[in-house]
Amino acid sequence: MSLINSFSIWFVPFLIGFILLYGTIKKVPTYEAFVEGGKEGFSMAISIIPFLVGMLVSISVFRASGALDLMLNFCKPLFDRLHIPGEVVPLALMRTISGSGALGMTSDLIATYGPDSFIGRLASTIQGSTDTTFYVLTVYFGAVGIRKMGYAVKVGLFADLIGFISSCIVVSLLFS
Amino acid sequence: MVNYIWVAMMVIGFIVAMFNGTMDKVNEAVFKGAEEAVTISFAMISILVFWLGLMKIAEKGGLLVVLANLFRPIVKRIFPDVPPEHPALGYILSNMVANLFGLGNAATPMGIKAMEQLKKLNGDKNEASRSMITLLAINTSSITLIPTTIIAIRMKFGSESPTDIVGPTLIATAFSTVGALLIDRFFYYRSKKRRE
């Protein structure tokens, strides 16, 4: 455990140091290059704003109205039949639309059922094995001004579904 | 498709609120959502500026080319449309490596930079190219070696073995990445067929 902890603490400084020394050895004007590259970051962040505002307003309306809960109750019998604990289904849906929302739900599930329970482990695995599709879609495409997304949404959502199903299968095989 | 989902979430939300008596919450949610979006974007400025600055040094020093050369055989298969010497490959690989080590806030700037290169490659059009969607698929199903946030939460709630989900997470995420790539291929060939 402490090994993994110290690994993640050491990794970032190591990476930064490595890039800086590599640049210096290769005679790159490091500080000037840093400033030049950093400049782009500002305009990128600004160009994300309209994409993110549109997406987050829609998502928070959907959640606040109770429509998300309604949808979950509607789907619950199906998941019961597949032996997937109903408690983690909201998490799986939330994971695709809101990163912070999903993290809150995972903490909640772990606090309620215990981190070493089946549900606690399943929630942890679901949280760790997929990323928030709508966020990635909005930020990555938004920053470079892609408006026509083609089949990207379908691919992202199917990837989430596979992540959820494989989490369920792997955790049931290893822990129950 | 994103247009339909966007409108549907909003309209369904309003209709449900009518019957649920949650219209006051929905009103609040509109402005809370907008505010949150701006807050997130501004919070990203610091991360974007820092990592993009650092990446410029790596790029000028030729580090990205070294990285791209190292993994060329694999990346060539995943991104067949990107020419082997193209700078996009270096950024794509940096993005993948950052994800692998759970450095979410470093992965995003590199992913965006890769998208920018891929857009140039696609003639600066405002539609998503095949390679862009593949990069997206890899990112939504991101392979993670160490899910640090989750381990921290498990520790906080007194888990006896907070790291025992590392193995299952790695297996599940490997499946979802392979699955995402296959689905990406499937939809690509389907849309290509439709166009012909």
Query: Per residue in A38-66, pLDDT tens?
Result: 988 888 888 888 888 988 899 889 989 99
Percent composition of chain A: helix, strand, coil (DSSP 3-state, to 5): 85, 0, 15
- The answer to whether residue B51 is domain-embedded is yes
Percent of chain B topping pLDDT 90: 35
Q: What is the pLDDT of residues A62-82, one digit of tens each?
A: 989 999 888 878 877 877 777
Tokens of B22: 């949650």
- Domain-embedded: residue B26: no
Q: Based on the structure, what is the number of domains in chain B?
A: 1
In a domain, B32, yes or no: no
| Domain housing B160 | 47-195
Angle between helix A67-81 and helix A89-97 axes, rounded to 10 deg: 130
Flag if A62 and B17 touch (Cβ within 8 Å).
no
| Residue written as token pair 């004007």 | A29
Between CA A11 and CA A15 the distance in angstroms is 6
Is residue B8 in some structural domain?
no
- Rounded distance between C-alpha atoms, residue B150 and residue B169, angstroms: 10
Q: B37, A115: Cβ pair inside 8 Å?
A: no
CB contact under 8 A, B147 and A141: no
Rounded to the nearest 10 degrees, what angle do helices A133-143 and A30-64 cross at? 130
Looking at the complex, does the CB of residue A3 fall below 8 Å from at least one CB of chain B?
Answer: no
B46-55, B108-117, B176-185: which has the minimum mean pLDDT?
A: B46-55
Give the pLDDT confidence of B128-178 residue by residue, as tens digits.
999 999 999 998 887 777 777 788 788 888 888 888 888 888 888 888 899
Is B113 within a domain? yes
ipTM tops 0.85: no
Q: What is the pLDDT of residue A2?
A: 57
Report B:131-190 residues touching A (Cβ under 8 A): 132-133, 135-137, 139-142, 144, 146-151, 153-154, 157-169, 171-173, 175-177, 179-180, 183-184, 187-188, 190
**Has residue B112 been placed in a domain?**
yes
Q: How much is the mean pLDDT over chain A?
A: 85
Classify residue B98: in a domain, yes or no. yes
Answer yes or no: is B174 within a domain: yes
Name chain B contacts of A34, Cβ cutoff 8 Å. Answer: 53-54, 56-57
- Model confidence band, residue B184 (pLDDT cutoffs 50, 70, 90): very high
The 10s digit of each residue's pLDDT in B34-90 is 998 898 888 888 888 998 898 889 889 988 888 888 888 888 899 999 998 888 998
Q: What is the pLDDT of residues A3-28, one digit of tens each?
A: 655 666 677 788 899 999 999 999 99
The whole-number pLDDT of residue A3 equals: 61
What pLDDT, in 10s, does the model give residues A125-154? 988 887 888 888 888 998 898 888 888 988
